[in-house]
Structure 1
Amino acid sequence: MMSTLRLGWRLTLFSGFLVATGLIATVCLLTEAVSRRGLNRAPIARFCFDGATRCLGLRLQVEGEPADATVLYVSNHISWSDIPILGGRVPLRFLSKAEVGTWPVIGWLARQAGTLFIVRGGGRAGAARADIASALAAGQSVLVFPEGTTTSGLTVLPFHSRLLHAAADAGVDIQPISIAYTRHGRPDHLVPFIGEDEFQQHLPRLLKQPAVDVTVRFHPPRRVSADLAWNDLAAELRDTVAQGVQQIYQEQGSTLNTTAGPERPLPRWLRAYRRSPDRSKA
């Protein structure tokens, strides 16, 4: 019963938020038409991302400070909710898979924030690197998820190095970010958006559960240059992010080791648990 009431209330909030974002989009378009010049939508998108995070019922804790200057942010990737969480903390642009642009609310917000969309498997890494470097050179920070996919949050996958070159191309630093979701001091298994999950099914499943804690930790920026050993840099950044995630878990009472080896498949009982229609008693 509680989970049904919670879902109804949060869906109402989220629907209201959808209407509000639609009104904001209309005002932006009218303003641009009247003034005949484009608006800086980054602050507007940041405000809306923060509103989306609140509607999702996430308890957020931010540690460390984002860089004052333009940087290339790199983070581990657990769920689509990473986007509004991180987008609500600092003005930035994302590199995201093309499918995100078609999602309700989140897709619109991503487009308004100037997200750079990439088609997976399309040989677009070179063009994406150029797009990222161009945005960075224009003074716009960009966030990429170098794992290339979402994970269960139990570990951090190796980072791909190719897109990191954009930081050197634009002459900016790289700032790593660790993000972790916990429930009762343990890694949360409901938020991860992995496997065959679809947004339309994952959203209500998330909204009907009690609030989850999410910690975002900004690590010190890392200076880069064109002559770096990029694979080594990617490994170094991955280790920094993984250690940050592990520290977050340890501070909340978990001893899970996120720095060890590649991601393991979820156990059968957990996969069945995630697919079950009602987990309100969890």
Structure 2
Amino acid sequence: MSTWTGRAVPSETGPDALGWLRGLARGLPMGVIVFGGLLVLMLARLVERPLFGLHRPVTPWITVGVCRAALWVLGLTVVRRGAPMSCTGAMVANHTSWLDIFVLNSRTPLYFVSKSEVAGWPGIGWLARATGTLFIRRDPAEASAQTRIFEDRLRAGHRLLFFPEGTSTDGCRVLPFKTTLFQAFFAEGLRHRAQIQPVTLIYHAPRGADRDFYGWWGEMGFGANLLRMLAQPRHGHVEAIFGSPVAVDDFPNRKSLARHLETEVRDAHLPSER
């Protein structure tokens, strides 16, 4: 089956008996960590919400701890380069896999901006809603409402993150950024105070594996890909490179802003593409 690159999606083969054992040995504690953490988060939110409203001073740190623990059980090491932004605004990153959610959440408290369909996905959708993911519809008629939501979130101190490529990839390249979501930051209430930080994720495959080992694209199933990650004997590592934030005010329009951020992400990713 062809995808955005014209490449065929590799066929997924199930693990052998030892792989299944590794999958269980990792999957069971990961499940306890993730869904146990979700329960703790929801209980904490019962107290946090009436006291702080949209502000979340406690629960994002639960998410950070859960993601760090889950990656430790999986055996995937994250190497951070640069520092997450501390100013008001958002982050943009290239998108390789569902693992990006764990990698990025393990480095700093943040809130993802995701397409509305994700809210209905079993498991992932529940986790996304509980952790404060902002769901949007790519409908121009809803642009004004989405801008107001962005502004409310940023005023509450939320740091948003979205994937402008619009899809996950094989991890070997950065696709052109779609510019639609950038328009919201040019609203009068945001453009004079918001900054956006480029973040580059570079996955390094385990020894002997193909470069696209961590890629999740096309019609790859989540369950099969999750099992593949759990059954892998030894994992590689992922670099999370936090670039310099830029002020929205420094750009005349969404296209120039998106082009600059795309260049920053791609330039940081280039060593892995050679």
Q: TM-score under structure 1 normalisation?
A: 0.77
1:16-68 Cα offsets, whole Å, 9 max, x none, are 224422541453265469x7765642222222232333333311100001112
What residue is the counterpart of 2:25 in the other structure? 9
What residue is the counterpart of 2:223 in the other structure? 200
Counterpart check, 1:175 vs 2:191 = no
Structure 2: segments with no counterpart, 5+ residues: 1-16
Match of 1:136 among 135, 154, 167: 154
What residue is the counterpart of 2:253 in the other structure? 229
Alignment of 1:1-282 (within 5 A): 1-25=17-41, 27-28=43-44, 31=47, 40=57, 41-103=59-121, 105-119=123-137, 124-169=142-187, 170=190, 171-183=193-205, 184=207, 188-209=211-232, 210-225=234-249, 228-247=252-271, 249=272, 256-257=273-274
Does the CA-based 8 Å contact 2:37-2:63 persist in structure 1? no
* Counterpart residue identity of residue 206, structure 1: M
SS in 1 for 2:125: helix
Distance in 2 (alpha carbons) for counterparts of 1:140 and 1:108: 20
Distance in 2 (alpha carbons) for counterparts of 1:142 and 1:26: 20
User: Aligned in 2, Cα 1:156/1:19: closer, same or farther, shift over 3 Å?
Assistant: closer
Distance in 2 (alpha carbons) for counterparts of 1:32 and 1:20: 18
Distance in 2 (alpha carbons) for counterparts of 1:22 and 1:237: 33
* Counterpart residue identity of residue 227, structure 2: P
Greater displacement, 44-53 / 100-109: 100-109
Structure 1: segments with no counterpart, 5+ residues: 250-255, 258-282
Greater displacement, 16-25 / 116-125: 116-125
Q: CA shift at 1:85, angstroms?
A: 1.2
Q: CA shift at 1:118, angstroms?
A: 2.4
How well do the aligned residues superpose, as a CA RMSD in angstroms?
2.7
Does the CA-based 8 Å contact 1:190-1:206 persist in structure 2? no
Distance in 2 (alpha carbons) for counterparts of 1:188 and 1:165: 34
- More relative contact order in 1 or in 2 (CA 8 Å, sep 6+)? 2
Does the CA-based 8 Å contact 2:38-2:130 persist in structure 1? no
Q: CA shift at 1:185, angstroms?
A: 9.2
Q: CA shift at 1:241, angstroms?
A: 0.2
Q: CA shift at 1:242, angstroms?
A: 0.8
Aligned residues: 249
SS in 2 for 1:225: helix
Q: CA shift at 1:219, angstroms?
A: 0.3
Distance in 2 (alpha carbons) for counterparts of 1:100 and 1:48: 20
